[in-house]
Structure 1
């Protein structure tokens, strides 16, 4: 199986991190290709999403044409995912949907943790679109304006602080990391929450997405053509 992970970034250093992270989750026998969509440094707003979508769609189409079995868009905002499903005949996922649907099987209320307040409205829109409003207890941010916390200990501490607040206020039964940039944090946060007396799952979006995508490929399924119709060829008449 060959999967392509596309990162909506113009930072070459990020691609190496994305490759290592996705490869670490992939099953034996799954090859991971990585590509960038260089319109933005990262996606943290609707404006960023609008800029990134054309490059993402082009990169997804290229991956499908090259023989990739499936595509992961490495962003918890699922940019270009639904649009691409209309145009390619392989499974396409982002970071939000697999993580959220996995978390639904693990507890009653979901608590999302992301980076910036500007991402929260995007997550709310995704939650509404998936019909999950009644299952989401909170969306919390790290309280930092940086998009790339490279120190794992610092990152873990920030996530743990928000997760503990959610748990102490009885807002969540499952913690969902709503940023694919939270590399390597899920397992460590889960252990630290357990040490604090909260035995709850912490769902990593990249891990959930890679494993979900592998399952779709092995099941031999892709997006339904009664939901995702191929774009029609339109002819305008004077």
Structure 2
């Protein structure tokens, strides 16, 4: 009996070497802890998202004011009217106030993400992407369009994005589709968006011509007849 116990003490459970068994249990325990932490982090993230979603703008501003961040809807509207770029304005607010919020972070739901959350809520209520050409909202609109069957998307919705691209080019002196937004292939996106537009009246053709005037890298094959008109007009100048 003592001999058997001696062998068991050397080999561990089920004849597995005790060192290997200890290593296995340690790895398994670590994985279980990591899994638990992942679930906990996911739960907390969902909880924070819910808190932010349910917080009104007024509550947001009141909470920010406790940390010396004096923002209001009027301030955001005025600042955006000057900059017309959500990501740049978010960066401006972060440079001013971000460290205050992130360093203290007494309330976990309130950190520097609050700026983008407020911008995302307030700006679309007061500004149209056709007017601002803001790449953040252009990509958001494209994302929304691409979530659906393109063949069923209202052409007016697509035209709105196309006009916003014209504004983006003209107001920012940008003439390459590749420069509209990182990680987005607007060359191919335009091809697909225009392909499903069936009402190709003179107004629509004029819009496509404006896009050709704005973007040097827009594919001539997207709308060959309009591209030809654009070239003829360009050569006459």
TM over 0.5: no
Larger radius of gyration: 2
Structure scoring higher RCO (CA < 8 A, sep ≥ 6) equals: 1
> Comparing both structures, which one devotes a greater share of its residues to helix?
2
Structure 2 length as normaliser, TM-score? 0.29
TM-score (norm 1): 0.29
